[in-house]
Amino acid sequence: MTPASRAIDVATLPRYGFGHRSLTWWGTLGLLAIESTAFGLAIVAYLYLKGRADEWPTAALAPRMFWANLTTAILLVSAVPNELAKRAARRLDLGRVRLWLVVCLVLEIAVIATRAMEFPLLNVRWDANAYGSVVWTLLGLHTTHLITDFGDSGVLTLLMMSGPVNENRFVDVAENSLYWYFVIASWIPIYAVIYLVPRFG
Amino acid sequence: MRGQDLAADPRLEPAALAREARLLAETWAQPRGIVGWFSNTDHKTIGLRFLVTSFVFFALGGVLAALMRIQLARPDAHFLWPDLYDQIFTMHGTTMMFLFAVPVMLALGIYFVPLMIGARDIAFPRLVAFGYYMFVFGGIFLYVMFLLNTGPDNGWFSYVPLAGPAFSAGKRGDVWAQLITFTEVSALVVAVALIVTIFKMRAPGMSLNRVPIFVWGMLVVSFMILFAMPAVMLASSWLIMDRLVGTHVFNKAQGGDPLLWQHLFWFFAHPEVYIIFLPAQAMMSTLISTFSRRPVFGYLALVLSLSATAFIGFGVWVHHMFATGLPQLGASFFTAASLMIVVPTGVQFFCWIATLWSGRPQFTVPMLYALGFFAVFLIGGLTGVMLAAVPLNQQVHDTFFVVAHLHYVLIGGAVFPLLGMVFYWFPKLTGRLLDNGIGTVAFWTLFVGFNLTFFPQHILGLEGMPRRVYTYPAAMGWGGLNLMSSIGAMTIGVSMLIYLYNVAVSLRRGEVAAANPWEASTLEWATASPPPPFNFSPMPTVGDRDPLWSPDPQPVVVGLATDKREVLVTQLMDAVPELARKQPHPTIWPFLAAVAVSVMFVWSIFSPWGVIYGSIPIAITFIGWFWPTDGKRPQAFEHDVASGHVQERAV
Amino acid sequence: MRRLWLVSVAAALIAVSCEREARRYRDQPQAAVPPDGVRLTTLRPGGGNDIAVSREAPFSDNAQAMAEGKRLYSAFNCNGCHAMGGGSIGPPLMDDQWIYGDAPDQIYSTIVQGRPDGMPSFGGKIPDQQVWELVAYVRSMSGLAPFDVKPGRNDDIGARPSEARTPATGPRQTGHR
Amino acid sequence: MNPVDIQSALHPAGPQAAHIAWLWWLMLSVCAAVFVIVLAAMGVAVYRGRHHTGPPADEAAMRRAVSLATGATVVILIALLFASVWTGRAIAALGSPTPLDVEVTAAQWWWQVEYAAPQPSNRVTTANEIHLPIGRVVRVLLKSTDVIHSFWIPNLHGKVDLIPGRGNVIWLRADTAGTYRGQCAEFCGIQHAHMALTVIVEPEPQFEAWLVKERRAAEAPQTPEQQRGRDLVAHGSCALCHSVQGDGPSAHLGPDLTHFASRPTIAAGELENTPENLAAWLADPQRIKVGSRMPATGLRGDDLQAVVAYLEQLK
């Protein structure tokens, strides 16, 4: 390579960016790819075991749906403040971001509570048979995501209250909302598998 | 790519450049001292540690192999007793696959991908450091347990029910399953970092069709890791749950199925082979191109072959299960898929031959390894074709024929190019060249020893010797070939010692290397050997596939901050500068987080409560990790927003 | 000082896990009781530990042997009377009630000598090593074994949580109820 | 037969192994040819590259060559695929409405072999040996009582796994009389290395005679020593695991001993079945086959001799 004769000046480029401009956004996508694969394989395993079983659900009543439906409802509702938080973040509107983050947090607490009520209503223990094991695994996997994102949002909210604040915090808020969308989206198939398949599948 | 004139830009005056380099050296310096050592997040330092560590495990795995070959050298031998032998062959397989082959490829990726794409840093340096410590702790955990007579003893595939709670007493099975989790976490985070680096941090002008083949290889492999490793993590977690909390996922009597384990395991473990092998193929293209003094022939074909292999690699796992009594038709499908993989591999062979044909091949030591790959890997590939045929597979499956095949593929296909590539990159890593004479000797000893070890094993397999037996009766007449194989194994050991000696000597007295001792074409050779902590100053841009061979001068990048760790983020497709990003500074939190996670992993094989209580320190360390140090008080920030200057600019 | 502490911890670790993981296939405690001694004992009122007195149990911390004991427990049809430990014809073995004592040697004697009201004498029938493996397993049923040594679930219709998941019971009285 | 060949995939003694051996030789020759050609091409390329002077090679021509070679690869692969599928069909074609039904049950670390019969009394149970009549199609039912094993008699056919909870089937036909060896081919624990099966292929009459002999109850002990041995076996620790049809014990944890003396090996092929080996085995099984389920019996001196004498007359 011969010595440089020309230059490209990047001094005037922005120092942060949302969405596909942000490295952490891509990192989050990678994480989602990994977790979707895990969810997908767990569901495939569920159907594989179902295919081999004579009786499904095995030696158990189908799970009762009340709390699960509530969970689903709250999750879907939580998409709204989630979206609003993201938009506020893109506007660097600190006040709104705080507001909607708090709303999200409240809803996440509610979801975790209803989720806790779900386990007993599965009507089967994880150590009863393979059906129980795989159902508890699926629900457990998703619950882990609820809890981790709750912690994530919690810390983020705290940061927005106390500082230090700069543009990149708002990028984090936007990406946290992306992750929460994944938590919502991944719940739909898992809900269908756990609660609908034993009834109608 | 346009840019203004040198005259117009005082920042390109030699004096200015020298000053910039000085400032950057301060900005990008890593902390010193013991704490500093654990806080280091320089991708080159971490990559080098990754590399050295995985070679240490390679040595350990080799010693285990030598022990096995001593035991098998004679029939009815009593050198090792079966309980220990089972632990040793399990440790050997596990070490080589999880603690050497994959990490070593990732290590080279961590070190060289940013250099080859002209970036100042890897995308998530802290995450990569975390991945490194997870890998080290996993390996230490495995070997400590082995010394405590708790080494896994169910094979690197840990088939249930043998590895399940009913037939594997104690904690040996859990140790294996948890080591998997350690190494997979490590590989996954590194894969994410590599993908993002390759997507978003390429030098201006390095559009996707100008990305070096090795970088393509690492990209494809990182994606394979993303989709393959969750399978085995799920499976091993279920294994631990079956063993610890009494789930029944693999218990046939309660609706579980032992074959579900095999499906999940091989859905990971077959792609795993390509995760190891594809970077090696990419290395081949690099070596052959460099030492044939011409751009590699059929760039597009090579890239497509790598990707095609990756795709098909996910569709062939069942050919490890032909003996489980599958329906005929399904089996034939997987035969076809397995044979299909030969096509992209063949294409690469032909492109390499074309490159040699139309180039000016030089017999340097790396080139020797590349040519050795041709001979050795070809045999492994062809026996692979045989194994894809269901009837033949049913005869030789789980015999020494397969042992021979997989070593021809993994040593011939991966270790040969790897050793060549280490020889090639050694000057960049250390600033000194390895010795050619010793290198040549090491190569030929390896080549002879390797074939002496593994070729006879084909015959042993056909004569009916199964794998994983700790001994065999003299009456079977397998003694001669086994002895030959054991002698060969010792020869391999000798060749490794010679290579090591070469490294040791050259580190001290080796010829000092210039920036580009091989006159190679890719960007890692555009900076000093070894590279400065900031990799490049000024940052290069790229006009074609072989920038260092291109006659026309390329513009350089100016305007990145020298007082903070700024990197350039470019567009995914054609690498047009998008924004400048401030990289996180070095910190010890990733190390502490890795400690916390390791504690939780080890705890959880003894008690499920380990998962609950163990998560608390993990949460704390991760908060410490991600807690920002830059920014203003909220009021101040809001004031800035109001007054309109939010975007902090470079000075 | 600190080094000493580290060393002792390491030593303890090694001792514990090595014993847990050891594969003791060739431990052969000498036969505890002469065959004729066995037949006598079934005629005697229970409680006599006088024959196999105060010998330490070879397998009390050994996972492999305990698992083997579990296999033999059903192979030799102990569950015919004691069920999966819940007890039916014979007394339960999961609880902390021990009519003839919970010490390894006491359980050993109970198996080898037999006890009144139905417990047959297995002396001379079950080889000594296997008796000790059974002893180790029987103790694990009621939590008298280290948590990391107890067997996991079987690959069969598990009637109850495995020994590994039954908590250790509190201080237990031995001797007659 | 040369000892090397009694467990060899390249010395077929039945149609299936023959088909597979044919496929092997076909693939070997094709692959060898490919190997030579590719390496030659590489050698020529290197030589040409180093010594060629004059104009650089014509990229278009090279592109054509590479596509041609790729095409050839595809053709060869398709051919091999057909060969493989054809062989698979040929193997599967072996069948019969009236096969000889044999049930093989694997356990750590030995084989139980049962010959089905209309009336239960005629069922024959033996261990670690399988007798096959020449030319008769045999349907082997494969089961496992513990972990996954693999049933493999290279001279007759490829291997099929025995998986707990799943019954597998393998069809066999032996055409050449002789004694062959099968071995467990899936790692199944500490004694995976010592889990062999003696295969005796004999003409139909001998086979039938053997079946008839096996159906009989155990030989009654003759000498007083054998009497004592019988009592020790019937009332000692042997009785908890083994069975001897007739007046003997009837437990089924270990191999059936009814016709023990007529079997070629002890401990799943590890020892030749001689009185000395048997005595050594009974005295300390864990020294000979460490980890095996056979415990130290504690038999000593005369007792040991008596048991050996009894077992060795169970023809």
Among B188, B185, B158, B191, which Cα is nearest to B173's? B158
- Please tell me the predicted confidence (pLDDT) of residue D74: 97
CA B202/CA A118 separation, integer angstroms: 48
Asked if omega into B584 is within 30° of 0 (cis), the reply is no
> What sign does the CA torsion over B591, B596, B602, B604 have?
negative
Query: How close A50 gets to chain B, by Cα (Å)?
Result: 9
Domains of chain B, by residue range, sit at 25-523, 590-622
Name residues whose C-beta falls within 8 Å of residue A80's C-beta, 6 or more positions apart in sequence. Answer: none
- Please tell me the predicted confidence (pLDDT) of residue B282: 96
Q: A66-107, pLDDT tens digit by residue? A: 999 999 999 999 999 999 999 999 999 999 999 999 999 999
What residue ranges of chain D are covered by domains with CATH 2.60.40.420? 1-214, 224-311
> Does position D222 have pLDDT exceeding 80, yes or no?
yes
What's domain D1-214's superfamily in CATH?
A: Cupredoxins -  blue copper proteins (2.60.40.420)
Residue A89 within any structural domain of the chain? yes
**Chain B contact for C147, CB < 8 A?**
yes
Name residues whose C-beta falls within 8 Å of residue B603's C-beta, 6 or more positions apart in sequence. Answer: B610, B611, B613, B614
> Does position C175 have pLDDT exceeding 80, yes or no?
no
- Please tell me the predicted confidence (pLDDT) of residue A4: 55
C107, C93 Cβ separation under 8 angstroms: no
**Chain C contact for D189, CB < 8 A?**
no
Q: Taking CB atoms and an 8 Å limit, are C127 and D291 in contact across chains?
A: no
Q: B328-346, pLDDT tens digit by residue? A: 778 889 999 999 999 999 9
The CATH number of the structural domain formed by B25-523 is: 1.20.210.10
- The number of angstroms, rounded, from the C-alpha of B478 to the middle of its chain's C-alpha atoms is 36
C156, C165 Cβ separation under 8 angstroms: no
Q: Taking CB atoms and an 8 Å limit, are B248 and C23 in contact across chains?
A: no
**Chain C contact for A127, CB < 8 A?**
yes
* Rounded mean pLDDT for each run of 10 residues along chain B, 651 residues in total: 55 87 94 94 97 97 97 95 95 97 97 97 97 98 95 95 94 95 96 98 96 97 96 96 94 93 96 95 96 95 96 93 84 92 96 95 96 95 95 96 97 96 97 96 97 97 95 94 97 97 96 94 95 93 93 88 94 94 95 97 93 95 92 85 63 30
- Please tell me the predicted confidence (pLDDT) of residue C40: 34
Helix axes of B634-643 and A130-162: crossing angle, nearest 10 degrees = 70
Chain B contacts in chain A segment 14-33 (CB below 8 A):
14-17, 20-21, 23, 26-27, 30-31, 33
> CB neighbours (10 Å) of residue B573?
10
Residue C151 within any structural domain of the chain? yes
Residue C121 within any structural domain of the chain? yes
Position with higher pLDDT, C47 vs D299: D299
> CB neighbours (10 Å) of residue A120?
11
Q: D69-103, pLDDT tens digit by residue? A: 999 999 999 999 999 999 999 999 988 889 999 99
Lowest-pLDDT choice from B301-315, B358-372, C18-32, C77-91: C18-32
Cα-based distances in Å from C123 to A185, B230, C47, D253: 65, 53, 16, 19
Mean pLDDT along residues C62-83: 90
- Residues on chain A touching C165 (C-beta within 8 angstroms): 127
Mean model confidence pLDDT for chain C: 75
Residue A135 within any structural domain of the chain? yes
Residues composing chain A: 201
Residue A171 within any structural domain of the chain? yes
| Structural tokens at position B172 | 């040996």
Q: Taking CB atoms and an 8 Å limit, are B641 and A38 in contact across chains?
A: no
> Does position C157 have pLDDT exceeding 90, yes or no?
no
**Overall number of domains in chain A:** 1
> Where do runs of H (alpha helix) occur along B341-432?
342-358, 365-388, 390-396, 400-407, 416-430
Residue C174 within any structural domain of the chain? no
Query: How close D302 gets to chain B, by Cα (Å)?
Result: 31
- Please tell me the predicted confidence (pLDDT) of residue B1: 43
Q: For residue D135, which amino acid is it? A: G
3-state SS of C31-100 is CCCCHHHHHHHHHCCCCCCCCCCCCCCCCCCCHHHHHHHHHHHHHCCCHHHHCCCCCCCCCCCCCCCCCC
Residue C172 within any structural domain of the chain? no
Chain C contacts in chain D segment 211-250 (CB below 8 A):
236-237, 239-241
**Chain B contact for C161, CB < 8 A?**
yes
**Chain B contact for D65, CB < 8 A?**
yes
| Closest-approach residue (CA) in chain B for C19 | B149
Among D115, D118, D95, which Cα is nearest to D105's? D115
Among 3.40.190.10, 2.60.40.420, 2.40.170.20, 2.40.40.20, what is the CATH number of D224-311? 2.60.40.420
Residue C170 within any structural domain of the chain? no
Q: Taking CB atoms and an 8 Å limit, are B259 and D160 in contact across chains?
A: no
Residue A1 within any structural domain of the chain? no
CATH number at residue A29: 1.20.120.80
Q: Taking CB atoms and an 8 Å limit, are D296 and C129 in contact across chains?
A: yes
Nearest to A129 among B200, B254, B263 (CB): B254
> Does position C79 have pLDDT exceeding 50, yes or no?
yes
| Closest-approach residue (CA) in chain D for C154 | D146
Query: How close D108 gets to chain B, by Cα (Å)?
Result: 10
C37, C116 Cβ separation under 8 angstroms: no
Q: Confidence band (pLDDT; 50, 70, 90) for A163? A: confident
Q: B460-509, pLDDT tens digit by residue? A: 999 999 999 999 999 999 999 999 999 999 999 999 999 999 999 999 99
Mapped onto helix, strand or coil, the DSSP state of residue B66 is helix
Q: Taking CB atoms and an 8 Å limit, are B353 and D45 in contact across chains?
A: yes
HSE on the CB side for C81, CA within 13 Å?
A: 9
Query: How close D142 gets to chain B, by Cα (Å)?
Result: 10
CA B293/CA A25 separation, integer angstroms: 40
**Start-to-end C-alpha separation, chain A:** 65
| Structural tokens at position B246 | 């009494």
Q: Taking CB atoms and an 8 Å limit, are C125 and D237 in contact across chains?
A: yes
Q: Which domain holds residue C72?
A: 2-165
